Amino acid sequence: MGSAIDKYLELRAKIDERSNQLHELHHDKMKCKKGCDECCMSFDIFPVEFYAIKQQLDKIGFSASDLPQQPQNDEDCVFLKDGVCSIYEARPIICRTHGLPFLYVGEEENWELSYCPMNFEGQAPEFFHVENTFAQDRFNSELFMINKQFIENHTEKQFKEFDLISTQKLLAE
């Protein structure tokens, strides 16, 4: 059985593949481009993702001194530098799907659709279906199970199933 971090990296590659397919499919309706940082904020992520990113940043020798300034408030992402992600290759899964249309089961067990309001201008909701949207619930379930394995293998860290860690702490560890 592979390590939880290896499984996380496999899932991340799968999500990149699906995100790339959706970008190709929707590129004419999406305004996402380098320099747009509307989706960038400080996210809370599962421990397995936190430590996988931490490992990757350590491997490439990333240092906080590479960042020009600290964010003005707790909601800003510490890795945003001049409107560009300074840890692009290691960025969390949530950042890999910015701007794409999502379908997920809402609180009342109904299907809900979400996407950046700058994209898909004038597009009727009926246009979206399971084949042309990102299946958020399926990927989240896979990530949840991988994180479960991670915390079971690292009982010394005393994480609980729903514990999350802010990406800001990547600079502190």
Residues in contact with ligand SF4 by CB under 6 A are 40-41, 77, 79-80, 85, 87, 91-92, 95
- In the complex, least distance from residue 164 CB atom to ligand SF4, rounded to whole angstroms: 15
Nearer to ligand SF4, 95 or 151 (CB): 95
Residues sharing a CB contact under 8 Å with residue 23, sequence separation 6 or more, in sequence order: 30, 100
Q: Percent helix, strand and coil across the chain, each rounded to 5?
A: 45, 10, 40
Nearer to ligand SF4, 62 or 128 (CB): 62
Sign of CA dihedral 25, 31, 35, 36: negative
- In the complex, least distance from residue 77 CB atom to ligand SF4, rounded to whole angstroms: 3
Nearer to ligand SF4, 15 or 80 (CB): 80
- In the complex, least distance from residue 51 CB atom to ligand SF4, rounded to whole angstroms: 16
- In the complex, least distance from residue 46 CB atom to ligand SF4, rounded to whole angstroms: 15
Dihedrals φ, ψ of 54, to 5°?
-55, -45
Question: What are the distances in angstroms from CA 60 to CA 48, 54, 77, 145?
Answer: 19, 10, 20, 28
Nearer to ligand SF4, 105 or 118 (CB): 118
Sign of CA dihedral 157, 158, 162, 165: negative
